[in-house]
Amino acid sequence: MFGLTFEKVLVIGIIAVFLLGPEKLPQYAAKFAQLVRQLRDMANGAKDRMRDEMGPDFDDVDWKKLDPRQYDPRRIIREALLDDDPAAGAVGTAATATTISRATPNPNGAYLQRKRAREGALAAAEPAPFDSEAT
């Protein structure tokens, strides 16, 4: 937890004994334990509230997929550019590199959808919206 090893915690404890003194150390240890309990209760309360608000779908959510540490912009771009090809999921292979260089845009991609909508609006030859009261 937080990258703390047993040796580091022991050194922090020894420094705390010297700084606080043996008289006040039990009081501060009790306050620290109370703080940790309150933080744990807050986290559990938030989890319970999420479970109550989301209902039965809470257990179906893949929480590891939503972890921001799993964010890989290269993977997101690759998935957006390539068709649904299961062989394209391998990262770092020569086949993936050649596939990416020859990738065709996904016809259902957001860019092409906006482009088709814009072309459709131009083809309809509607005048541009105009607000006479705008400054």
Segments making up each domain of the chain, as ranges: 6-54, 69-123
Show the 3-state SS of 84-129.
CCHHHHCCCCHHHHHHHHCCCCCCCCHHHHHHHHHHHHHHHCCCCC
To the nearest whole number, what is the mean pLDDT of the chain? 76
Span 57-73, pLDDT tens digits: 777 777 777 777 777 78
Whether the predicted model's global pTM rises above the 0.75 cut: no
Span 80-123, pLDDT tens digits: 888 665 554 445 444 444 455 455 667 777 777 888 877 776 66
